[in-house]
């Protein structure tokens, strides 16, 4: 699961011309640490829903990698 989330985040970062990440940490903030915008978060939602069949923003905003993991583990 963690590897797939990293892969999805890197797909989004690649389109923006940002350096690909080797790893992400549970405390990483999606905006501040990973450089994602509101548009990127919408794309992240779609890609995660396609991969895991879950809407991570269904119950509200998700701001960190750990919040994504928590939603995926439900």
> What is the tens place of the pLDDT at every residue in 26-65?
999 999 999 999 999 999 999 999 999 988 878 888 899 9
Reference 63, options 51, 44, 73, 54; nearest CA is: 44
What's the whole-model pTM score?
A: 0.90
Our CA angle for 5, 57, 59, nearest 5°, is 135
For the chain, what is the domain count?
1
Spatial distance between the Cα atoms of 20 and 52, rounded to a whole number of angstroms? 22
Label residues 1-10 b or e (16+ Cβ within 10 Å = b).
Answer: eeeebbebbb
**Containing domain of residue 25, as a range?**
2-73
CATH of the domain at 9: 1.10.1200.10
Spatial distance between the Cα atoms of 60 and 57, rounded to a whole number of angstroms? 5
């Amino acid at each position: 699961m963690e590897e797939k989330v990293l892969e999805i985040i890197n797909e989004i970062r690649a389109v923006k011309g940002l350096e690909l990440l080797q790893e992400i940490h549970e405390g990483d903030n999606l905006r501040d640490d990973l450089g994602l915008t509101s548009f990127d978060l919408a794309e992240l939602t779609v890609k995660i829903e396609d991969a895991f069949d879950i809407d991570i923003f269904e119950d509200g905003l998700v701001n960190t990698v750990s919040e994504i993991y928590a939603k995926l583990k439900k």
